[in-house]
Structure 1
Amino acid sequence: MSYKRSSLMQERMAQNRKTILQSARELIAQGGFKDAQIQAIADRAGVSSGLVYRYFANKSQVLIEVLDDAIHVEVDILNHIAAGELTATEKLHKAVTTFVRRAMNSPQLAYSLMFEPVDPELEHGRFRSKQLIKQTMKEILAQGKTSGEFGFEDLNTAALCVVGAMTFVVIEPLNPSRNVMFDQSYKDYFVKQIADFCVNAVENKESSHLTK
């Protein structure tokens, strides 16, 4: 009987934690990190602020976990593309396209997770997130190097450049302070331009010339 109570308590605690994190994510998606204060998170989750502090030491820990959860979803998607049957060129184009399109479909959340000014602890979490994305892009680039599709010199540098292009290039369109709405045709055009740029940057020009 005590085991059953313990199991139910663990389930309730896990659900409380999940609800708190989901509430924080929703607040960030609506108004950025500035709106995700502990009391606001607690109110949205339907719990007391004291209960939030039972699971997290401070606001930064809540936001770091939201960031970690979000980036692991993105990395899982990119890893699935990297493990697919497409050519390396197709994988790179699809990976960049997918990442940028998902960012533009949730502009406030994406902007906050990637660019909104934050404290050093959360900024370090961002750095770790970009490292995870870089590892997947390195895998795709390495495949292309082996197959002769890509002609860069240094794998790590090439991966850093691709990650930089697919993240920082969206600062302007995502920035909520610009208060600009983009229609779907512009989004499609913008996303394709970034993906094409990344592929062209690492493409093996000699191989491409020979096949034309």
Structure 2
Amino acid sequence: MAYRETEKMRQRKAEARQRIIDCTWECVAEGGFRSARITRIAGLAGVATGTIYRHFESREHLFAEIFRLATQREVDKVAEALGISGNAVERLESALRQFAGRALKGPMKAWALIAEPVDPTVEEERLAYRKAYADLFERAINEGIKEGCIPEQNARLASTCLVGAISESLIGPLSPTQTRSLQDTDNRNNTLVDAIVCFCIQGLTGTRS
């Protein structure tokens, strides 16, 4: 008689897989991908290391899944910020502030997603992540051109420039080598976000935000 997996067993597998995902992200959020060791993840999730490899082909595939899920949350937040009322410039400013502000509030998580050296499998997800942002910005820029609040330009190129500018400007502040103090952190972050947004909007429109 052929073996048939029961619904209860499928549920247990799904729960174990979710625990592995949650615990891996917990490790990444604390110390980046380099701190997410399989033995530690297995211990936190309460499973054997072999169980992890039954759910994920390799450590790199597990990390790629984590990266995909985490970045989708960030892209969704930027899309939400672009959905506010107002003209395209105002909506783009809202989205840029969301991007930079969330990164600076969770520097280790943002470092892992934006700049931490990763395996090629995860780097592919990072490229998809950047493209997802560029796609959102491109639509908003095209809408702004139609509205007349953004000058005629190559919207695709401009959108990729926005993603590059904001990501590159955050690398230094997010780096784990940076010494961070709670004192005045919010003020410094707000000043940095303002500067990033000003640069990006000025590049798009030729005027300061």
TM-score, normalisation: structure 2: 0.91
CA distance in 1, matches of 2:72, 2:99: 12
Q: Which runs of 4+ in 1 moved over 4 A?
A: none
Equivalent of residue 196 in structure 2, options 194, 197, 209: 194
Which runs of no fewer than 5 residues in structure 1 stay unpaired? none
The answer as to whether partners of 2:103 and 2:110 remain within 8 angstroms in 1 is: yes
User: CA RMSD of the aligned region, Å?
Assistant: 1.6
SS of 1:85's equivalent in the other structure is coil
Comparing 61-70 and 176-185, the one that deviates more: 176-185
One-letter identity of the residue aligned with 1:82 = L
**2:158 is matched with which residue?**
158
One-letter identity of the residue aligned with 1:196 = C
The answer as to whether partners of 1:20 and 1:41 remain within 8 angstroms in 2 is: yes
SS of 2:17's equivalent in the other structure is helix
- Higher relative contact order (Cα pairs below 8 Å, separated by 6+ residues): 1
CA distance in 1, matches of 2:164, 2:157: 10
SS of 1:111's equivalent in the other structure is helix
**2:57 is matched with which residue?**
57
- Write the deviation string for residues 155-212 of structure 1: whole angstroms up to 9, x where unpaired: 111001111112121000000012333611111111111112111111165xx9xxxx
SS of 1:57's equivalent in the other structure is coil
Q: CA deviation at 1:152?
A: 4.7
More helix per residue = 1
In structure 2, relative to structure 1, the CA distance for the partners of 1:27 and 1:103 (3 Å cut) is same
Aligned residues: 202
Q: CA deviation at 1:82?
A: 2.6
SS of 2:177's equivalent in the other structure is helix
**1:138 is matched with which residue?**
138
SS of 1:149's equivalent in the other structure is coil
The answer as to whether partners of 2:82 and 2:94 remain within 8 angstroms in 1 is: no
The answer as to whether partners of 1:148 and 1:204 remain within 8 angstroms in 2 is: no
- Write the deviation string for residues 68-95 of structure 1: whole angstroms up to 9, x where unpaired: 1111111112222333322111111110
CA distance in 1, matches of 2:63, 2:128: 14
Q: CA deviation at 1:10?
A: 2.4
- Write the deviation string for residues 124-168 of structure 1: whole angstroms up to 9, x where unpaired: 111111111111111111111111111152111100111111212
CA distance in 2, matches of 1:57, 1:179: 37
CA distance in 2, matches of 1:122, 1:101: 24
